[in-house]
Amino acid sequence: MNWCALEESLREIISQGLIQSVFQPIVDIRKQLVLGYEALSRGPSDSPLYAAGVLFETAERAGVQQELEQLCRNKAVKKFRGLGIEGLLFVNISPQVLELPEFDLDKLDTLIDELDLDPSRVVLELSERYPATDMGQTLKALAILKERGFKIAIDDLGAGYSGLKLWSEVKPDYVKIDRHFIRDIDTDLVKREFVASVVNLANGMGCQLVAEGVETESEYKTIHELGIPLCQGFYFGKPKVHPVVTNLNRSRPTMENKISLGKVGALATYIQPVSPSTLLGDVIQRFSKAGHISSIPVVDDDKPIGMISKWSLMELFALPFGRALHEKKPVKHYMTQTPIVVPWGEDLSIVSRMLTDEEDLYIRQHFIITKESKYFGVGSTRDVLKRITDMKIRSARYANPLTLLPGNVPINEKLREMEESRETYSLLYFDIDNFKPLNDVLGYSIGDQVIQLLANTLRAHLQEHKTFIGHVGGDDFVVVFDGVADLAEICKTVQDAFVEKVKSFYPPSMVTLGYMDAFDRNGKPQKFPLSTLSVGVVQQDAPEGELLIDISTLAARAKKRAKLLVSKYSVLRVSDSLANLDEMQTAV
């Protein structure tokens, strides 16, 4: 590489101001909004200095780092203000530049004032990749910047050797975790544990974390599970002159959206585990430092093998010579070797029974949660019981008073949860045929009993499949199944059971005739068949596609079609609706 030619080109770029600013969004994944944008600088598109890495390396070699950085900041602030972008502006500044005696803080102040930009909206990022050589001068400059209202961030945490020292001395508002630790964090347990420890530090030091380099949905979801509120990366938007944010409102990756509130995974808290060889002295020290933790899982090769309790360990150390005798011994000899371990998708009701059916004298306070048989987090017995109580109260509040099944509010929440999970599912819409004449002729009391019959039939035949059963109102019910398996046989069983039992509500003469005389909606006499059961099924087999019509509308259309068929069963597939709404249904 011809550095002399590059340095000459760089001086020309600086003198002519040929730097272009691009902006990459930083999003708050809890609030589902854009916190701000990081300004990144590019050279001329037809120049070998276009890439930021070559651009700044050349500036460092040529000794014009301050001139280049000042130009980049000026361009970024002016462009940011000119575009009218909302939120915070993150701009880079190297510690070496802050240390230079000729660095002029007033120039930055003047620029901000001229553009009428509040300094509190500007975050100055110090990269750990470029360590400070004169920390005293750097801290002095940062103190002045803070006094003038600017916010401070540490960039690329983990990329160098002095990150934690810089963090403790600078006391930044934001810390950005280097992209190396975010890449594949969903599958790399070591990276996950490192980031979890950084989260604990941030919580204790009162600053906000930003995960850099988030590129996949799996990384995004893992970041949220670890409790990091802010993200930056290609998944949300590439650096652009006119920034565009993607995937922000597409799906909230919270565990309560990913799985039902009735699943134990929604209560998981990630506690960094210890290995079987960890010494008891190290474990008790960890308990002392983290007062809120009372149980620590013991994990070997991602598999949970035990649990160590704070109180049992303190009891052991309280014995005469307890610490001296035991602190150098491995935890594997003292842990609970039969912890309660449950998969993250398990129903809370089942977990509750597991906890209370234990033969121990005392109910265990904590249990281990796994995902795909690997350690995922720790659950609290108290949280399980509280969530079940809350769910029962909520269920009673929004339940249909006749059937006690979930009503429209929880039904809509369930459908929204399924759509946000981006997983396949099936929505079944059950409707009693000829219910109105039955209700008119036999009376509303019989009508209510028939509705209760359908509710009980659905419970009896479908609850074993871990379905969600809801009562829309009147004689309309919905059922949500995970996946898009063929449900024709299951529905036929429900239909046959209902048709057979509903006959007991009719007078024997009507059953013999097979119909009843009643008035239609226009007041004209008509013969109506005995009640049967229609089922419209919507298969959400394209969860990543853009739904062109509301899922409940599709279900109503499927039910309407089912009523016209001999089988009383019809299926609509969402994938067909994405291609052609007029040809999206198949019937059985």
For the segment 249-307, what is each residue's pLDDT rounded down to a tens digit?
554 443 333 334 567 887 888 888 999 999 999 999 888 877 778 899 999 999 999 99
Cα–Cα dist 295/312, whole Å: 10
Q: Are strands 533-540 and 151-157 parallel, antiparallel or unpaired?
A: unpaired
| Shared domain check, 376 and 463 | no
DSSP tag of 367: E
Parent domain of 549: 401-587
| Shared domain check, 271 and 244 | no
DSSP tag of 248: T
DSSP tag of 321: T
Q: Is 175 helix (H, G, I), strand (E, B) or coil?
A: strand
The domain that holds 288 is classified in CATH as 3.10.580.10
| Shared domain check, 176 and 209 | yes
Q: Is 197 helix (H, G, I), strand (E, B) or coil?
A: helix
What does the mean pLDDT of the chain come to? 84
Note the residue count of the chain: 588
Tens of pLDDT along 308-327?
Answer: 998 888 888 888 888 888 88
Contact 51, 6 (CB under 8 A): no
Q: Give the pLDDT band (50/70/90) at residue 199.
A: confident
- Strand-pair partners of 92: 125
pTM over 0.75: no
| Shared domain check, 378 and 427 | no
Does residue 390 form part of some domain? no
Q: Which amino acid is at 525?
A: P
Q: Are strands 525-529 and 515-519 parallel, antiparallel or unpaired?
A: antiparallel
The domain that holds 50 is classified in CATH as 3.20.20.450
Which comes out higher in pLDDT, residue 445 or 409? 445
Does residue 74 form part of some domain? yes
Which whole-number Å values give the CA distances from 404 to 309, 398, 435, 468, in the listed order?
A: 41, 9, 20, 13
Q: Who's near 66: CB < 8 A, 6+ residues apart?
A: 97, 100, 102, 103
| Shared domain check, 513 and 375 | no
Asked if pLDDT for residue 556 goes beyond 70, the answer is: yes
HEC states along 11-56?
A: HHHHHHCCCEEEEEEEEECCCCEEEEEEEEEECCCCCCCCCHHHHH
Residue 483, Ramachandran bin (φ over 0: left; ψ between -120 and 50: alpha; else beta): left
pLDDT at 280: 92
| Shared domain check, 277 and 240 | no
Does residue 13 form part of some domain? yes
Tens of pLDDT along 91-137?
Answer: 998 887 787 766 667 677 777 877 778 888 999 998 766 666 778 88
Boundary of a domain, candidates 249, 280, 305:
249
Cα–Cα dist 366/342, whole Å: 11
Q: How many domains does the chain have?
A: 3
Cα–Cα dist 385/388, whole Å: 5
pLDDT at 131: 67
Write down the residue that tokens 């079609």 correspond to: 561
Boundary of a domain, candidates 249, 282, 311:
249
Asked if pLDDT for residue 165 goes beyond 50, the answer is: yes
Least confident range from 379-388, 437-446, 501-510, 525-534: namely 379-388
Instruction: From 173, 178, 225, 240, select the one nearest 25 (Cα to Cα).
Output: 240
Helices (H) and strands (E) in the chain, counts: 23, 21
Q: Who's near 258: CB < 8 A, 6+ residues apart?
A: 221, 265, 421
